[in-house]
Amino acid sequence: MNAVLNTGPAQRAPSYYSASLNDHTEYPQLKGTMQVDVAIIGGGFTGVATAVELAERGLKVAIIETNRIGWGASGRNGGQVTGSLSGDEAMRTQMRNHLGAEVDDFIWHLRWRGHQVIEQRVERYGIDCDLKRGHLHAAMKPSHMEELRSFQAEA
């Protein structure tokens, strides 16, 4: 990534993740102009991941963030890397016309591809984190069992 520009000095939200940061990098406030191939507004998961992907492809990228990288929802979540995929049934319905019978395989691989990307980037960039594999999808009450049986059958 080529640049991260803050437009203000907001503090991070108080959380375990803020308290356990390994890197307290301060980024410069945006002043003047900057020439980039792509400017990304927002330094959450999506903005940072997009910036890394584009920079790895040789583009000059800047992230413009009002507060701090990971300041919003991205810095306040549980930090788990899971195989959950919100909206997968709606995706399946919408994509079936284009992918036909391959839609199920496409969604299954989409569900898990992110794990590989994260593991590769942790390794490539030497990210000091507590990355661990694992996932628990449990039924909290008997009515949840049908969903678990469906997930097992799909797997």
pLDDT digits (tens, 9 = 90+) for 34-51: 999 999 999 998 999 999
pLDDT of 63 reads 94
Tokens, residue 134: 């694992």
73-120 pLDDT, tens per residue? 887 777 778 877 788 889 999 999 999 989 999 988 888 888 888 999
The CB-based long-range contact list for 93-97 (8 Å cut-off, 24+ gap) reads: none
pLDDT of 59 reads 98
What are the phi and psi torsion angles at 83 (to 5°)?
A: -95, 15
The three-state secondary structure class of 62 is strand
**Between these two residues, 43 and 21, which has the higher pLDDT value?**
43
Contact at 8 Å (CB) between 39 and 62? yes
From the list 6, 53, 11, the residue with the least C-alpha distance to 30 is: 6
pTM over 0.85: no
Mean pLDDT of the chain: 85
Residue 3's pLDDT band (boundaries 50, 70, 90)? low
Tokens, residue 31: 């002043």
CA distance 109 to 115: 10
CA distance 21 to 68: 13
Residue 57's pLDDT band (boundaries 50, 70, 90)? very high
CA distance 75 to 12: 8
